[in-house]
Structure 1
Amino acid sequence: DIAPSSEIEEIAWFTLADRAEVPPVDRLLFDELARRGLLA
């Protein structure tokens, strides 16, 4: 199982609906993953 450790406070799963909640660089990744059909 995936679990938080010393440097990681929380683990979360994101969808394209969460795009506004992530940093700008991650938005670019979200856009590219969505374009490729890998993120819904």
Structure 2
Amino acid sequence: MKTLNILKYVFTLIGAGMLVGAVMSYSSTVSFIERAT
């Protein structure tokens, strides 16, 4: 049961990191498109 909790925390951290990375890459892409056009 303890490993299940550890896995849950690991997947939550990975998901949060991917979400933050997606938002940052999205905003940088939007600003790049605005500069390019």
When the two structures are superposed, what TM-score results if normalisation uses the length of structure 1?
A: 0.36
- Report the structure number with the largest CA radius of gyration: 2
When the two structures are superposed, what TM-score results if normalisation uses the length of structure 2?
A: 0.39
> Of Structure 1 and Structure 2, which has the larger fraction of its residues in helix?
2
